[in-house]
């Protein structure tokens, strides 16, 4: 676990912890936990029959079990972006200079953009060629957020926090912004419309007639702000462990309380308002049913607040088998991310074939008639069996690679 002592040598007016090679187990554990939960969502995408027919958060069609199977995975992206910023700050505490951190963030961000549009696109869609359609999802937004942070790191820490906080707190004020569509068959977008789609309004973008189409599923704001706040959060890990634990608990409770208060009032923070539902217990589901694309202020408070509370209770070195396994997954997040797509999507093809279900439904961007989708997928129990099996199946290779990263310091290991 990283040392908690604080150096007396200031750097750019900020006090940092002394250089250390150790990682912070609690951060790796939390990252590993959300990666494992993320895998559940992706297995559901390809194995559950409902995934081919309706949104699992549609309260008119879903069940409580299906809703919470999807809802728990909401924690994944916000926590991962937040901890990516924290990890960047921790590189500084290990002796990296501002320029070294900036170069690493920029180069890794560019690498993630390449992966998103090539390898990951293939793993998600099953198509070797793009067919002129590209999608900007999690890794797309993560890459651009790293590139943005590579510039922000030259600012004072307070300024980085202020910029990140402004993005997270204010962006919902623009929820009513109407942006002309940039989809095929519509007039070409102007530069301002294009920028709005990339930054805040999800949608299809076509830059020129009959050109490639890009689906901006993960607009960059407020994801850039989430990573910036994570960078500021890393400052806590230069403090005494006892002091840090108290601050983590107070901060996590405060953020969670902000979610509860704002959500209860329906005043601000999410374009989707909760309401009393006719089905028993579904009012709670309505309260928790928040906007992810782009993530609302309440969505981020609901996920990051409890995550910080969990960090307060996982300060000590992990000794349980489950804790050590999660730490292992958290130390090789990119490898796990790639492998879980191979497991979730790749295993679905033979499973569908053996069950005599239409494998054509698994090609995400193909024309899939309703009668085909109606026969695709399995029960929720099958989803959980495949997910648990995948968690165990991927552990040996993740453990091997984590050991490689622990023993060696090759530059390329930081990119996978």
- How much is the pLDDT for 12? 43
| DSSP-derived pairing of the beta strands 14-15 and 10-11 | antiparallel
The secondary structure of residue 200, as a DSSP letter, is T
The token duo for 153 is: 């790191």
> What pLDDT, on the 0 to 100 scale, is given for residue 183?
66
Question: What's the pTM?
Answer: 0.91
Q: Please tell me the predicted confidence (pLDDT) of residue 212.
A: 76
Q: Are 70 and 59 in contact, with CB atoms under 8 Å apart?
A: no
What local confidence, expressed as pLDDT, does residue 187 receive? 62
The residues, any chain, with a CB within 8 Å of residue 240's CB and separated by 6 or more, are: 4, 5, 6
pLDDT value of position 22: 62
DSSP string covering 298-342, please?
A: HHHHHHHHHHHHHHHT--SPP-SHHHHHHHHHHHSHHHHHHHHHH
Give the pairing of strands 133-136 and 213-216: parallel
Describe the strand order of the beta sheet including 203-206 as a list of residue ranges.
133-136, 213-216, 203-206
pLDDT at 411: 79
Mean pLDDT in order along the chain per 10 residues (416 residues): 37 43 85 97 97 96 97 97 97 92 96 94 85 85 98 98 98 83 66 82 75 84 97 95 95 98 96 94 97 96 98 85 95 96 97 97 88 95 98 98 90 78
pLDDT at 42: 98
DSSP classification of residue 12: T
Say how far apart CA 29 and CA 18 lie, in whole Å: 23
- In eight-state DSSP terms, residue 378 is B
Phi, psi at 71, each rounded to 5°:
-60, -40
């Amino acid at each position: 676990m990283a040392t908690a002592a604080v150096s007396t040598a200031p750097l750019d007016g900020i006090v940092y912890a002394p250089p250390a090679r150790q990682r912070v187990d609690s951060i790796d554990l939390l990252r590993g936990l959300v990666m494992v939960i993320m895998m559940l969502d992706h297995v559901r995408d390809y194995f559950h029959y409902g995934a081919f027919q309706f949104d699992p958060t549609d309260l008119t069609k879903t069940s409580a079990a299906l809703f919470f199977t999807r809802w728990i995975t909401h924690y994944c992206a916000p926590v991962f972006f937040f901890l990516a910023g924290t990890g960047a700050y921790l590189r500084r505490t290990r002796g990296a200079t501002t320029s070294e951190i900036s170069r690493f963030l920029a180069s890794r961000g560019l690498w993630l953009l390449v992966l998103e549009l090539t390898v990951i696109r293939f793993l998600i869609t099953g198509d070797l060629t793009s067919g002129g359609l590209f999608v900007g999802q999690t890794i797309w937004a993560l890459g651009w957020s790293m590139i943005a942070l590579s510039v922000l790191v030259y600012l004072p820490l307070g300024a980085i926090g202020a910029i990140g906080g402004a993005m997270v707190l204010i962006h919902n004020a623009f929820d009513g912004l109407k942006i002309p569509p940039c989809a095929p068959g519509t007039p070409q977008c102007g530069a301002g419309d294009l920028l709005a789609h990339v930054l805040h309004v999800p949608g299809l973008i076509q830059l020129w007639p009959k050109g490639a189409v890009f689906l901006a599923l993960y607009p960059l704001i407020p994801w850039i702000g989430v990573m910036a706040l994570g960078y500021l959060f890393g400052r806590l890990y230069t403090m005494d462990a006892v002091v840090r634990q108290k601050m983590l608990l107070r901060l996590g409770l405060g953020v969670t309380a902000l979610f509860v208060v704002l959500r209860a009032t329906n005043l601000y923070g999410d374009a989707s308002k909760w309401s009393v539902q006719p089905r028993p217990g579904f009012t709670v589901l309505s309260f928790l049913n928040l906007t992810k694309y782009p993530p609302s202020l309440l969505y981020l408070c609901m996920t990051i607040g409890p995550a910080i509370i969990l960090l307060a209770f996982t300060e000590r070195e992990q000794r349980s088998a489950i804790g050590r396994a999660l730490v292992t997954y958290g130390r090789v997040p990119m490898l796990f991310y790639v492998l879980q797509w191979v497991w979730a999507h790749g295993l679905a093809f033979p499973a569908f074939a053996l069950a005599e279900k239409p494998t054509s439904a698994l090609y995400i961007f193909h024309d899939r008639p309703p009668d085909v989708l109606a026969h695709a997928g399995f029960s929720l129990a099958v989803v959980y069996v495949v997910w648990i099996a995948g968690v165990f199946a991927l552990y040996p290779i993740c453990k091997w690679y984590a050991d490689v990263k622990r023993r060696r310091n090759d530059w390329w290991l930081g990119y996978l």
